[in-house]
Structure 1
Amino acid sequence: MTLTKIFPKRPLGFHFFFSSACLVCLVIQPVLSQEYEWPTDASRLMTSSFGEYRDDHFHAGIDIKTWGQIGYQVFAIEKGCINRIRVSPYGYGRAVYLLLDNGLIVVYAHLSRFSEPVEKLVKEEQKKQGRFAIDKTFLAGQLPVEKGELVGFTGRSGTRDPHLHFEVRINENTPINPLLLGYAINDQIPPIVNGVAVSPLRYGSQVNGDFQPKIFSVQKENDGFYRLTETIQAWGQIGLSVSAFDQANGASNSFAVYRIRLYVNEQLIFTTYYNYFPYDITQQIELDRDYRLHRWGWGLFQKLYCDIGNELPLYEPASIESGTLSCWDEVEKSPQLQQSIPVDGNMLDGSLDFEKGFHEIRIEALDYFGNRSTVIGTLQMIPLSEINLMDVPLEYFPVKETVEADSIVGIRLKRDFMDDFIRFCVESNIPLPTHPLLYIQRGNGIKTPILLWDKSDGTYVGSAPLNSNTDGQMITELHIISQQGLKYVVRDTLITHTIDPNQSSSILSEDRRFQITFPEGSLYRPVLGTFQQKPGSHPDKVIDDEYLFYPQDVPLKHSVTISIKIDPDDHDVDKLGIYQIGDNGHASFLGKRWGNGTLSVTTGSLSQYTVLRDTVPPEITTIRPAPNSHIRDLTPLISVGFKDTLSGIYGEDHYQFFLDSVRLIVEYDPINNLGFYQTDEPLDFGLHTLDIMIEDQNGNKASRKSQFIIDPE
């Protein structure tokens, strides 16, 4: 039977009346009843599961353990034909695609080589195209395979560690969980739970006396049963997420859990299943997982609610904000008084309302084979004013003198841009005779006090709403009284910008040198942010500053464009590039497009950027056969090690080897910085010359000439 049904893309607000598990079963029921061959003789152990987190995408299959070795056999799981072959140094490496007679598409990736007939076709195509990387499709039935037939051998092409990546799709765009085909894995181990996160989602919301997410520890009481170590105290609208992973017998690898359920007061509130997803929205994993917590370095947490912009077919119910929990008083329920940023002109709310007071929560994490772990805990819906915190009074004892200052030793003011509010945090490691005061002043000239709450550890927190009226200048004014009676006033100014996802917009840094352009549809929700400039520290810097956009914990739906103006007196622009600066100071080359005195590049995340000059050529580190060596092998492996420290080496045109003036089709191993070519026809006895040319992405070149001699035996 041929599979023709394609899963529809779920629009925002659409409600599924079937679970994703049921939907998959209904669609592929005719093929689920078949018995499929296991894809390799390497093992029946997984090293990665379907739906695991990868940067900006889901893991689309399962990885099968090959014991750190290459060369195990790979088999067709059912009768069909080869319809595609891809070869690349990156991604899936060597991959073969089978179209089964029942309509499923099966992918085997990271192979070391293909079966002999396919390997011959690949080499012919590589010689025809004159390059290593190819992508070739075949007509249906052109290369038939039988169930259990050898199609290749396991390897590590395109990746670091040897394993077989095995993927099943119901069409070109939709991978499904391969375990749905009925494969048995030895697994009696329940998932392991690390913790539960609770996040305030709207202005006016709080979690345990603060306006930022909080991680709650769990205590394991026995296998598969955990308890929160403290009560969750919250108000407003909150979302829960869980950090959990699975394991199976016979391997120490960690996997994604298959199903997660959230119960409140014994009522099932929300469920996630990892059965399938469309490739064209795989980047929405950043909405399925908590991107903010991940960027903050707090770990990987899976949300127990459907966030704004999330179109993934993984949830029950599937309405936006389903799974979120709310408790407001009557005044706070008014969207006008909440003053938060609307989405598509509406205050979306698929939240469930709960009464003030205590509620029992239960989270269940299950693997595919039904092993379950349960977390229980207590949620208390309680206003901040009723928690044992004190709001800061607005009066002071007498002040001797007022001092204007850029900063105060021992005092730190932090701002966190949340979804529709700013969190302010004043941290003091010096004794204060009275509480700090905090004001903000916006474009209307009105100075507004920010209510601060004393967390009793020298920390004071407050929040202010973000909306379209907050665009422009925002002055923050902090008042501190010292023990000597001096009043210190510290002011700073931000320029804030609202970016509407429904229209294209560009924002400029204060010095008008740096610009980010957000195309229409590049965001999931409105974002209010700001720029910060700080002195650059990289030795190859071209401009004085590094530019940061805040918040950086906002996932992008589509790429944005970074543009930086270059000094018109700079006459060596070919050596310039835009780089992302990591938290550890490491510079990563993003690219460059030059035009009208500006460098520009597209990027899929918000970070810290600068322009660097790369004038250092790559380094050629090793050559085999060794220069001037004598060998007896008529079909030697030719390999060259090379590396670059800044812009990097990418693309076959950037590494070229010529043996006796004939260009070789070089396989590149980017993990080990190695290019190699296995001669497949015997060379002549005598002298042979190898010419090597390496070029980085900024045009710096390195070249070497090496000779070796093949001696007669």
Structure 2
Amino acid sequence: LDHLFNGHTIINNFIRMKIRLFLYSFLVGLSLSGQTMLDTMYFDSPIKHDVVLAGSFGELRTSHFHAGLDIKPSKFNISGDSLFVAAPGYISRIKIQNGGYGRVLYVDHPNGYTSVYAHMMEFKDSIEQYIQKMQLASQSYEIDIYPQKGKISLPRGAFIGLLGNSGRSYGAHLHFELRNTVSETPINPMLFGIGPKDNIAPDLSSVTIHGLSLDHQETHFSNYPTEKVDNHKYTINKGAVSIPAWRIGVLLQGWDRMDGASNKNGIYKIQMSVDDTLRYGVTMDSVNWDETAYIKTHIDYTDKQDNKRTTVRCYPMPGNELNIYESTNRNGIIRIYSSEARKIEIEASDFSGNISSIQFDVKRSNKMIKNTSSFEKLIKYNSPYNFKLGSCHMSIAANTLDRDLYLNYSESIDKDHTIYSIHRDSNPLYKPMKATIPIMNIDSLLFDKLCAVLIEKDGNLTFKDGTIVGDSLSFKTNVFGDYRLHIDTIPPSITPIQTSLNDDLSFIVKDNISDVTINAYIDGRWIISPFKILNHTLLIPKKEFGAGQKELKIIAIDEIGNKSNYTQLLEQE
């Protein structure tokens, strides 16, 4: 539109607004190729260079669905590109975290959507000044502010800050989201026309087949690497497999590459047909925040934990409450026969319509396997439970599991510690469960240092905050695994790594089992000191210590209350 009315700013803006309003009212609700048509002219790209993605919407992350687009900088892994608001609106929220989204802006727009700009390096000057006043007043680097509606208004294309790498980010990029303002549900920005060029069909890497019992327990596991038949057509095992089960579930491993980058992004749409009848479909148009924990059942969580392989179930589990599936095609479980092959075809497509497919036949093997296993308690997925096994009391809320669970439990002794083994850590929980274990042979004077810890596979310990009730400690956890009591008397470590006064000072601050709270002072004055939790790096900006002799003091406290103090004399001409 700018090219049509170049040089006539008032007319240009007026006509732009009228055309946008007309297109928005006309297009919303229409459908094209299964995608809801939204106003692709309402939002502009938040960057000036071409959009190239490091991560797509709905991509399968370790514990959540990716809620936006990860847009690469103009130069590889270099922060500092200017960012611009995608449409007129006002800043509704400003948040700064050591982890998470780092430095992030939320902008509400008149059309009922909110744009989100995360992992920023810095905000524009007026916002930085506003934020710094809040940080100094609260003496906290981490803040979460909701400015009054309209207090910080922004016209279309206004400069808002610089692309960065703050928070839980592994490299410079902009995490960009569009959300429904009322529900806060993230919407795929590609539906609004913001996205990369993509002429590359998805890659399909492997197919997993689970043999399934009537209550969805896995009786068999086979993983088959794909074999290419044609350009974007695949099969497995030369086109036919035999499985020792009466019914099966199929899982797909794959990813989508896009123009200009080698990143393995998420697949936009997957459909599975059995004997030419559609039995399963999923499309990544939006994912509700309240449902994101169900990624643990959308994928094979056990395979992810054990083999680092991410496969999508083409058969939703009974406890899966995600609303991303085609409502009439949720039953992807397939009955198989020894005398007749079932034809399975899966199509994987990206947002641009590039399609890859895989086809194979499956029959029931004549050699069936009888599975028998012992367990301590049957947990129905849709019922609440309060029970005791051994000396551990457990509480599990209804709908915490994706299917019925045959719970295993044991207790053992290791170096004077009682180990409470609560099932396998590769079985998912969607809500925290509560465990209560007895306190034995521990001096009451040490109770303030007492906590529960999860014993990781590598032997490291992860802190679980607990409450002492009588002679027991209760804690909540969202993972099964091995637990024990632990007395933590070790304070965090503070190690200088950059001590030259010609630059910002930096330190590694970390604890042996938990997160830390950090405060820094110059001559007793609290200062704003950024901390990146991902690499445990604390930054003391050079501007804070200036010229002359100053005393720097850093205080770090872990979650159990252990404290470390670090003092350094700074002297600069």
For this structure pair, what is the TM-score category when the shorter chain's length is used for normalisation? Answer: 0.7 to 0.9
In structure 1, the partner of 2:180 is 170
User: How far is the alpha carbon of 1:705 from its aligned partner?
Assistant: 1.9
Larger radius of gyration: 1
Aligned partners of 1:42 and 1:73 also within 8 Å: no
Q: Which residue of 2 aligns with 1:55?
A: 62
Q: What is the root-mean-square deviation in Å for CA atoms of aligned residues?
A: 2.8
Deviation at 1:92, TM superposition (A): 0.5
Tell me the CA shift for residue 529 of structure 1.
0.9
Is residue 315 of structure 2 the alignment partner of residue 305 of structure 1? Answer: yes
Alignment of 1:368 with 2:355, yes or no, is no
- Aligned partners of 1:60 and 1:375: how far apart in 2? 28
What does residue range 32-51 of structure 1 map to in structure 2 within 5 Å? 32-41=39-48, 43-51=50-58
SS at match of 2:448: helix
Contact 1:205 1:237 in 2 (8 A): no
Specify the alignment match of 1:649 in structure 2.
515
How far did 1:150 drift? 0.8
Residues of 2 paired with 1:103 and 1:545: CA distance? 54
Alpha-carbon distance change, 365 to 687 in structure 1, aligned in 2, over 3 angstroms: same
How far apart are the structure 2 equivalents of 1:204 and 1:686?
73
Range 87-96 or range 268-277, more displaced: 268-277
2:114 and 2:314 mapped to 1: Cα distance? Answer: 31
- CA–CA separation in structure 2 for the residues paired with 1:300 and 1:673: 28
Q: Cα 1:669–1:531, aligned 2, differ >3 Å: closer, same or farther?
A: same
Corresponding residue for residue 12 of structure 2: none
8 Å contact kept, 1:20–1:273 = no
- Structure 2 SS opposite 1:106: strand
Question: Partners of 1:284 and 1:133 in 2: how far apart?
Answer: 29
Question: Does the aligned pair in 2 maintain the 1:625–1:708 contact within 8 Å?
Answer: no
| Equivalent residue in structure 2 for 1:143, among 152, 175, 179 | 152
Q: Pick from 402, 410, 435: which aligns with 1:562?
A: 435
Which residue pairs with 1:395 in the alignment? none
Aligned with residue 93 of structure 1, among 78, 85, 102: 102
State the AA in 2 paired with 1:83: S
Give the distance between the partners of 1:42 and 1:679, measured in 2 at CA.
Answer: 32
Distance 1:642 1:75 in 2: 34
Aligned to 2:496: 622
Instruction: Report the counterpart of residue 292 of structure 1 in structure 2.
Output: 302
Residue 248 of structure 1: SS of its match in structure 2?
Answer: coil
Tell me which moved more, 497-506 or 572-581.
497-506
Instruction: Give runs of aligned pairs for residues 467-616 of structure 1, distance below 5 A.
Output: 496-510=376-390, 512=391, 514-536=392-414, 543-571=416-444, 572-616=446-490
Q: Distance in 1 between matches of 2:196 and 2:397?
A: 45
Q: What is the TM-score when the length of structure 2 is the normalising length?
A: 0.87
Per-residue deviation, residues 33-66 of structure 1 (Å, max 9, x unmatched): 4253211235421000111122331110010112
| 1:189 equivalenced with 2:200 (yes/no) | yes
| Aligned counterpart, 2:4 | none
Q: CA deviation at 1:148?
A: 1.3
Secondary structure in structure 2 of the residue aligned to 1:249: coil
Paired AA for residue 279 in structure 2:
I
Q: Distance in 2 between matches of 1:53 and 1:602?
A: 25
Work out the CA distance in 2 between the residues paired with 1:237 and 1:495. 23
The secondary structure found in structure 2 opposite 1:128 is: helix
Distance 1:521 1:260, change over 3 A: closer
The 3-state SS of whatever aligns with 1:256 is coil
1:242 corresponds to which letter in structure 2? L
Q: Does the aligned pair in 2 maintain the 1:205–1:238 contact within 8 Å? A: no
Q: Distance in 2 between matches of 1:70 and 1:548?
A: 45
Conserved 8 A contact 1:204-1:236: no
Is there any run of 5+ residues in structure 2 with no aligned partner, and where? 1-20
SS of residue paired to 2:428: coil
Q: How far apart, CA to CA, are the structure 1 residues paired with 2:308 and 2:513?
A: 30
**Where does 1:187-266 land on structure 2 (aligned, <5 Å)?**
187-203=198-214, 211-230=219-238, 231-234=240-243, 235-266=245-276
**Aligned-partner residue type, residue 463 of structure 1:** N
Matches within 5 A, 1:312-391: 312-318=322-328, 322-327=331-336, 356-380=339-363, 382=364, 384=365, 387=366, 389=367
d(CA) in 2 for partners of 1:165, 1:142: 24
The 3 A distance-change label for structure 1 pair 298 and 621 is closer
Which stretch shows the higher mean deviation, 59-68 or 585-594?
Answer: 585-594
Shift of 1:19: 9.6
The residue that corresponds to 2:371 in the other structure is: 463
2:507 matched to which residue of 1?
640
Q: Which has the higher contact order (CA 8 A, sep 6+)?
A: 2
Tell me by how many angstroms 1:623 deviates: 6.5
- Structure 1 residue runs of 5 or longer lacking an equivalent are 6-17, 329-354, 390-452, 454-460, 465-475, 477-493, 538-542
Equivalent residue number for residue 344 of structure 1: none
Q: Write out per-residue CA displacement over residues 165-215 of structure 1, whole angstroms, 9 at most, x where no aligned residue.
A: 001112343101111111352221111111111112215999xxx932211
SS at match of 1:559: strand
Which SS does the other structure have where 2:219 is aligned?
Answer: coil
C-alpha separation in 1, matches of 2:333 and 2:418: 41
Q: Say whether the 8 Å CA contact 1:219–1:226 is kept in structure 2.
A: yes
1:655-666 matches, within 5 Å, as 655-666=518-529
Verify the 8 A CA contact 1:86 1:135 in the aligned structure 2: yes
The one-letter amino acid paired with 2:320 is: N
Task: Pick closer, same or farther for the CA change 1:197–1:681 going to 2, 3 Å.
Answer: closer
The 3 A distance-change label for structure 1 pair 324 and 613 is same
Distance 1:42 1:224 in 2: 30
> Counterparts of 2:92 and 2:32 in 1: how far apart (Å)?
28
Q: How does 1:17-32 map to 2 (within 5 A)?
A: 22=34, 25=36, 29=37, 31-32=38-39
Query: 594-603 vs 270-279, which deviates more?
Result: 594-603
Per the alignment, residue 3 of structure 2 pairs with none
CA deviations over 1:194-237 (Å, ceiling 9, x no partner): 1111112215999xxx9322112211234311111152324422
Q: Using the alignment, how far apart are the partners of 2:509 and 2:68 within structure 1?
A: 33
Q: Against the structure 1 CA distance between its residues 205 and 174, is the aligned structure 2 distance closer, same or farther, given a 3 Å change threshold?
A: closer
One-letter amino acid of the structure 1 residue matched with residue 404 of structure 2: P
Residue by residue, what CA displacement relative to the aligned partner does 1:340-363 show, whole Å, maximum 9, x if unpaired? xxxxxxxxxxxxxxx951122211
Identical-pair percentage = 25
Amino acid at match of 1:515: H
Q: SS of the counterpart of 1:216?
A: strand
Q: Which moved more, 1:136-145 or 1:44-53?
A: 136-145
Structure 1 residue 681: deviation in Å? 6.6
